[in-house]
A and B are shown apart, each in its own frame.
Chain A
Amino acid sequence: KQEVTQIPAALSVPEGENLVLNCSFTDSAIYNLQWFRQDPGKGLTSLLLIQSSQREQTSGRLNASLDKSSGRSTLYIAASQPGDSATYLCAVWGTEYSGGGADGLTFGKGTHLIIQP
């Protein structure tokens, strides 16, 4: 069954720093990988989607990479700001060839990010 792991579980950095969040998954048979942001008590906001055939996607200060063969993705945040404080979730959409489990997204447990002013 697909498993998604995010490291670190929590991160606190001063404003202005560049930072990297890590995501790993156990089964490379995926359609895509998505990064989401979740603010406390709220729903999820999609940040970036990387198709299985792509290596990276960029949106503003965010850059996400995908290495499907090694089962890894990173989310790079440049010039961090206090407004970036949130929980960041990584999720993969497995194919019918994935090892067990249902369709839809499999989520990691998230990285709780705090940007200190």
Chain B
Amino acid sequence: DVKVTQSSRYLVKRTGEKVFLECVQDMDHENMFWYRQDPGLGLRLIYFSYDVKMKEKGDIPEGYSVSREKKERFSLILESASTNQTSMYLCASSLLGRGGETQYFGPGTRLLVL
């Protein structure tokens, strides 16, 4: 079974802090994704990566950056956390290619920025 793990289930941070959200997948998947989920807005794509050291912006990249130094690990970075970044963050991975493959999701990290 594919397993996607996220470093924390719940996080509480202060405005202005630098926040790291970590995601690890154990199935040698090429593609990894970060989404955020908000009530009334649904899931929205923040960043994605099709290969190591490669990243592409999604629909809402402002205020975020990412790092993919190793194939299995994809980190989302909030450079200076703000209250409007309070949300549920979901990481996903898929085997390879642009489309055509099932995306597998982690359990999510619920982030509260005070």
Contacts and interface: CB of A to CB of B under 8 A. Distances in A.
A93 B59 contact: no
Nearest to B97: A31
How many chain A residues sit at the interface, stated as a range, is 20 to 34
Nearest to B44: A107
Given A44-B90, A109-B40, A103 B104 contact: no
Contacts of B33: 104-105
18 contacts: A31-B100, A34-B103, A36-B105, A42-B107, A43-B105, A43-B106, A44-B90, A46-B105, A93-B100, A102-B48, A102-B58, A102-B59, A104-B45, A105-B33, A105-B35, A106-B45, A107-B42, A107-B43
Interface in B21-43: 33, 35, 40-43
Among B35, B59, B90, residue most surrounded by chain A Cβ atoms (within 10 Å)? B59
Given A34-B103, A41-B110, A102-B56, 11 more contacts: A32-B100, A34-B102, A36-B105, A42-B108, A95-B99, A103-B56, A103-B58, A105-B35, A105-B43, A107-B44, A108-B42
Contact of B42 (A31, A34, A93, A109): A109
Contacts of B107: 42-43
A89 B42 CA distance: 9
Contacts of A106: 45
Interface in A94-114: 95-96, 101-110
Contact of A51 (B4, B35, B100): B100
Contacts of A46: 102-105
Interface string A31-68: 11010100001111110010100000000000000000
A93 B20 CA distance: 27
Interface of B: 4, 33, 35, 40-45, 48, 56-59, 90, 92, 98-108, 110
B101 to A, nearest CB: 8
Contacts of B90: 43-44
A31 B58 contact: no
A51 B35 CA distance: 22
A32 B57 contact: no
Contacts of B103: 34, 46, 105
